[in-house]
Amino acid sequence: MPEYRNPAPTVDIIIELQGGIVLIDRKNEPQGWALPGGFVDYGESLEDAARREAHEETSLKIRLKAQMHAYSDPGRDPRRHTLSVVFVAEADGAPEAGDDAKGAGVFTERNLPDTIVFDHRQIIMDYFEWKREGWKVFDY
């Protein structure tokens, strides 16, 4: 029987909070700031994975608002080939680091951290453009 290699499905969540978005400071490699998110468990929907990962990493209970875009560049994650569905959500409260996060904070387009890992800087820039201009047609 042939062996198939497939990308791993992941979710990333842009959590709108206090006029900015929530980022986590990762404990594990690659270290740096990232959107909350992670791998989808077997038998789990994308939406449930987004809610679970957001809560595990930020302690926030989120309300999903939209599915923004899917990102699938084979080099987006240095550990392995992943594809991510990005959700936009909202929450109340203050983020608290949990799971594989050593810190969490709220950032605006003007005060993003210097070290943002994976392709998350591009995702964040796409999000801010999407917020300013409405539905974005992505160039493929």
Residue 18 is part of which domain span? Answer: 8-133
> What's the pLDDT score for residue 138?
66
Phi, psi of 70 (to 5 degrees): -110, 140
Query: How many Cβ atoms from other residues are within 10 Å of residue 95's Cβ?
Result: 23
Could you give the CA distance from residue 124 to residue 21 in angstroms, rounded to a whole number? 9
Instruction: Tell me, yes or no, whether 3 lies in a domain.
Output: no
Residue-level pLDDT, tens digit, the chain, 140 residues: 678 899 999 999 999 999 999 999 999 999 999 999 999 999 999 999 999 999 999 999 999 999 999 999 999 999 999 999 999 999 999 999 998 899 999 999 999 999 999 999 999 999 999 999 887 666 66
> What's the pLDDT score for residue 56?
97
> What's the pLDDT score for residue 139?
66
CATH number of the domain residue 66 falls in = 3.90.79.10
Could you give the CA distance from residue 73 to residue 88 in angstroms, rounded to a whole number? 20
Supply the DSSP string of 8-42, one letter for each residue: EEEEEEEEEETTEEEEEEESSSSPSEE-SEEEPPT
